[in-house]
A = this chain, B = another copy of it.
Amino acid sequence: MTQIPIARAKRLRSTPYTSRIEKQGLTSYTIYNHMLLPAGFEGTLEETYNHLKKDVQVWDVAAERQVEISGEDSAELVQLMTCRDLSKSKDGICYYCPIIDDQAGLINDPIVLRINQNKWWLSIADSDVILFAKGLAIGKNYKVNIIEPNVDIMAVQGPKSFALMEKIFGKTITELKFFGFDYFDFKGTKHLIARSGWSKQGGYEIYVENTESGLELYDYLFDVGKEFNVKPGCPHLIERIESALLSYGNDFDLNDNPLECGFEKFVNLDSDVKFLGKEKLKEIRAIGVSKKLMGVKFNLDKISLAKAIDINVGSKRIGELRSAVYSPTFNQVIGIAMIDKPYFEIDTSVEIKIDNDTKTGTICSIPFI
Contacts and interface: CB of A to CB of B under 8 A. Distances in A.
A216 interface: no
A304 B14 CA distance: 14
Contacts of A247: 9, 11
Interface of A: 1-14, 22, 26-31, 34, 39-40, 101-102, 107, 126-140, 148, 247-250, 254, 276, 304-308, 322-323
Contacts of A40: 7
Contact of A4 (B29, B134, B138): B29
Contacts of A29: 4-7
Q: Quickly give the copy total for this chain.
A: 2
Contacts of A102: 134, 138
A184 to B, nearest CB: 29
Contact of A322 (B10, B39, B140, B323): B10
22 contacts: A4-B5, A4-B26, A4-B27, A5-B28, A7-B29, A8-B305, A9-B30, A9-B247, A9-B250, A9-B305, A9-B323, A10-B306, A11-B248, A11-B249, A128-B128, A134-B135, A135-B136, A135-B139, A136-B136, A136-B138, A137-B139, A138-B139
Contacts of A12: 30-31
